[in-house]
């Protein structure tokens, strides 16, 4: 077969994404986000997300067909995220993919959302011929993965034991009176601040935690430390410097993420790191990672921001890889698995 033409559908959180790729070339990349509907709640509300996917699915599919100049009748396969994610949200994408597969007699591939975040790098830098470590950091997940084979062999080295990295950014932003989503706001505010102004804790990096939680992360203690600091300053009648707190908080998160990610590359003798998820857009994280990677001789691959956040092209990219390798498709009974 020439390079497979694959439609990918993503609906695990608050983005409805439809992508169409031919091999590693993106033909369509359409995303509808319900982020605005979650603003007043300060975080993603599952029921609101599911309803938004229902409303956005058909228009987003049509947008993708128009961008690519092809429709579902012409594709070789349909790939869809079947987990991890919000159950109700995943169900919308999986139901749409099954309906299209059945109606047009196309093979269906259920793919793992995290693997798709890694596979998307192939659209930018070509197919993986080698092992990589991946750091995925978004509002919903924080994982460190060892990828021996993008289709068959991914090991979860570690993850957050409480809040996701993006969630920590969002919660601290809220504490500081900045709007949701807070990550870009903190990134911006921190540029005017002093990252050494407040010495916030670096989760799971001291004492016995170093051994026990070698590749894991924790951000809820940091969030509480920021809250305590703000309250203390207010009690003392001092003005709270949002830029200083933002910069100090951000340094704590990015220091730990980058240290552990590069240490994982070194420990597993893997000279490549792929970044994914919305937090990969953070300037300070990129700075720390690039600096430490250079010192350790590790090559860093960061897909462009529009491919780092949730989208359908990443699902199509992984689907195309599976088709190219002759992997058997999923059954039309494909279940969703919110926690896999």
Which one of 29, 282, 288, 289 is in contact with ligand KG4 (CB under 6 A)? Answer: 282
- Residue whose tokens read 């084979």: 149
The answer for residues whose C-beta is within 8 angstroms of residue 198's C-beta and 6 or more apart is: 229, 244, 245, 248, 249
CA 15 – CA 92 distance, rounded (Å)? 12
Could you say whether residue 278 binds ligand KG4 (CB under 6 A)? yes
CB of 338 to Zn ion, least distance (A): 13
What percent of the residues of the chain are helix, what percent strand, and what percent coil, each to the nearest 5? 50, 20, 30
Q: Which of 312, 304, 277, 278 is nearest to 56 (CA)?
A: 312
Closer residue to Zn ion in complex, CB, 242/279: 279
CA 159 – CA 264 distance, rounded (Å)? 13
Which one of 138, 142, 185, 218 is in contact with Zn ion (CB under 5 A)? Answer: 138
- The phi, psi pair for 286, rounded to 5°, reads -60, -40
CB of 30 to ligand KG4, least distance (A): 15
Task: Give the chain's length.
Answer: 340
Could you say whether residue 14 binds Zn ion (CB under 5 A)? no
CB of 263 to ligand KG4, least distance (A): 21
Give the interface size with ligand KG4 as a residue count (CB under 6 A).
19
169 binds, among Zn ion, ligand KG4, none (CB under 5 to 8 A by kind): ligand KG4
Could you say whether residue 169 binds ligand KG4 (CB under 6 A)? yes
Could you say whether residue 143 binds ligand KG4 (CB under 6 A)? no
Please say whether the beta carbons of 190 and 250 come within 8 A.
yes
The answer for residues whose C-beta is within 8 angstroms of residue 181's C-beta and 6 or more apart is: 35, 139, 166, 169, 170, 173, 278
Could you say whether residue 311 binds Zn ion (CB under 5 A)? no
Could you say whether residue 17 binds ligand KG4 (CB under 6 A)? no
Classify residue 69 by its DSSP letter: T
CB atoms within 10 A of CB 116: 30
Which one of 37, 42, 46, 184 is in contact with ligand KG4 (CB under 6 A)? Answer: 184
Q: Which of 150, 275, 153, 167 is nearest to 218 (CA)?
A: 167
Q: Which stretch binds Zn ion (CB under 5 A): 130-138, 150-158, 198-206, 229-237?
A: 130-138
Q: Which stretch binds Zn ion (CB under 5 A): 59-67, 191-199, 281-289, 306-314?
A: 306-314
Could you say whether residue 138 binds ligand KG4 (CB under 6 A)? yes
217 binds, among ligand KG4, Zn ion, none (CB under 5 to 8 A by kind): none
Q: Residue ranges for the binding site for substrate?
A: 136-140, 170, 183, 187, 282
- The phi, psi pair for 326, rounded to 5°, reads 75, 25
Please say whether the beta carbons of 90 and 14 come within 8 A.
no
Structure tokens at 174: 């809220």
111 binds, among ligand KG4, Zn ion, none (CB under 5 to 8 A by kind): none
Give the interface size with Zn ion as a residue count (CB under 5 A).
2
Could you say whether residue 310 binds ligand KG4 (CB under 6 A)? yes
Could you say whether residue 81 binds ligand KG4 (CB under 6 A)? no
Site residues for Zn ion per CB under 5 A: 138, 310
């Amino acid at each position: 077969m020439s390079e497979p033409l694959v439609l990918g559908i993503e609906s695990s959180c608050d983005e409805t994404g439809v992508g169409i790729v031919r091999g590693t070339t993106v033909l369509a990349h359409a995303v509808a986000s319900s982020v605005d509907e979650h603003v007043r709640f300060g975080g993603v509300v599952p029921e609101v997300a599911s309803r938004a996917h229902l409303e956005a699915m058909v228009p987003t599919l049509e947008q993708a067909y128009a961008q690519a100049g092809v429709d579902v009748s012409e594709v070789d396969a349909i790939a869809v995220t079947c987990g991890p994610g919000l159950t109700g949200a995943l169900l919308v994408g999986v139901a749409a993919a099954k309906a299209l597969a059945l109606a047009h007699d196309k093979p269906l591939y259920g793919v793992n959302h995290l693997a798709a975040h890694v596979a998307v790098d192939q659209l930018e830098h070509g197919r993986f011929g080698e092992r990589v470590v991946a750091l995925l950091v978004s509002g919903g997940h924080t994982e460190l993965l060892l990828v021996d084979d993008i289709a068959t062999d991914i090991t979860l080295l570690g993850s957050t034991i409480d809040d996701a990295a993006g969630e920590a950014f969002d919660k601290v932003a809220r504490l500081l009176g900045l709007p949701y989503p807070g990550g870009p706001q903190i990134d911006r505010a921190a540029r005017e601040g002093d990252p050494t102004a407040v010495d916030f804790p670096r989760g799971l990096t001291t004492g016995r935690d170093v051994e026990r939680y070698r590749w894991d992360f924790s951000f809820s203690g940091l969030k509480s430390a920021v809250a305590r600091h703000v309250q203390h300053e207010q009690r003392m009648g001092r003005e709270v410097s949002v830029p200083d707190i933002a910069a100090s908080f951000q340094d704590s998160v990015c220091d730990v993420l980058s240290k552990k990610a590069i240490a994982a590359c070194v420990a597993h003798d893997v000279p490549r790191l792929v970044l994914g998820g919305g937090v990969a857009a953070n300037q300070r994280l990129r700075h720390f990672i690039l600096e430490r990677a250079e010192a350790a001789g590790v090559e860093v691959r960061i897909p462009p921001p529009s491919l780092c956040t949730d989208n359908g092209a990443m699902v199509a990219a992984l689907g195309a890889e599976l088709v190219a390798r002759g992997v058997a498709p999923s059954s039309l009974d494909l279940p969703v698995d919110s926690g896999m």
